[in-house]
Amino acid sequence: MLIEFEDHKLIEGGVCAPMGFRAGGVAAGIKAGSTKRDLALIVCEKKCAAAAVYTKNKVKGAPIAITKKHLEDGLAQAVIVNSGNANTCNPDGEEIAEKMCELAAKELDIDENDVLVGSTGVIGQKLSIQPIEAKIGELAASLSEDGSSLACEAIMTTDTRKKEIAVRFMIDGKLCRIGAISKGSGMINPNMATMLCFITTDVNIRQELLQKALSRVTEITYNMVSVDGDTSTNDTVCIMASGLAGNREINAEDKDYEKFINALYAVMMNLARETARDGEGATKLLECVVKGAPDEDIARRVAKSVVSSDLVKAAMFAADANCGRIFCAIGYTEGDFEIDNMEVALMSERGSMTVYQNGAIAEVDDDKAHELLTADEVTVLVDLHDGLYKAAAWGCDLTYDYVKINAEYRS
């Protein structure tokens, strides 16, 4: 379930909600035997200020090198993306990624250096340009102002649901919008992961501030997600800003910049939660909210430690209030903080209960705890009582199906 904020109303349209954008998606047969949509395109009617952040894995997919090169001038007008193959560790990977941009640019009659590129799927297998070349005309023809969902479907791999959102808000008396699509289900760790996210906005904002905003919000959203502890090779978040909303350019970190940051957070936080909710084989969303920390870094570390623990995740799958696993995950978190006054509670739509207080485990009714933990969304609330800072992280339970999905991924 998407969370709506008072100042940022949810709207339809995904990446096509902001002014100037169209999107589409087709089936190109990139993965042998697959008939799903696997080739997506997003385009703006004009050049946009653009920014991106990437995986922290030392091994990076070829599309990242090309996207970085094409973003050196801070401008972009389109992005082409394939699923079914990550185009990583291939001898001709960058050549293929460049060719994808060239094909898209020719169909759109734009400069190929203004096209960004992304790939997702199996790592270490060659990607043929032939199915992409054969379908590029059909892909361009599929572009429409209602095409966000087609593009969203085309970037999915093991995802079980589309991840798509748009919000509207006001800046400088002008109606502004941010839209996004993303994919990600497994190989997800708090340094981004097999995760692609493409964001569009019609806000008029200076490129340097767009990059700063994206980097900041990524740190407190996508970098706070963990499904399985694996950081992938292709993770990319891109944003294009058309400026067509007509607001005065945001060129300083003022109140309008803060409004933009907050709207971007509303979009990316929701998609981060949906990524965790859709973890491979997952049956529930696990959230850890930490408050009372001595600094933001400690708050983030503790929250990520809890949602990343395989033992905590397995207990959540069983709806077992084995809370010692939570306390253990908090305790081995790196950093200087006190736990003498720590409180820990479990919460869901089915109730709440304190499980740790004043340095010791609280008395827990196992039957009530089990009922609480059978909900589709469970929150672990940690109050360190050691400062004023807070953070949240998102994960999921660890199930039998996770092993099955990943054991059979290439078959």
Residue 346 CA to residue 362 CA, distance in Å, equals: 12
Contact 292, 383 (CB under 8 A): yes
> Which residue of the set 88, 158, 194, 218 is catalytic?
194
Is 275 considered catalytic here? no
Identify the burial level of 408 via C-beta atoms within 10 angstroms of its C-beta, where 0-12 means exposed, 13-18 middle and 19 or more buried.
Answer: exposed
CA distance 195 to 193: 5
Phi, psi (rounded to 5 degrees) for 351: 135, -175
Query: Do 185 and 279 form a contact (C-beta atoms < 8 A)?
Result: yes
- Is 231 in contact with 191 (CB distance < 8 Å)? yes
| Cα gap 356→382, rounded to integer Å | 9
Q: How far apart are CA 411 and CA 400, in angstroms?
A: 18
Q: Which two tokens stand for residue 344?
A: 């820990």
Strands 115-120 and 75-83: parallel
- 3-state SS class at 161: coil
Containing 51, the helix (H) or strand (E) segment is strand 39-54
Beta-strand ranges (E) seen in 140-223 are 163-171, 174-183, 196-201
What's the DSSP call for residue 118?
A: E
Beta-bridged to residue 239, according to DSSP, are 51, 199
Active-site residue list = 194
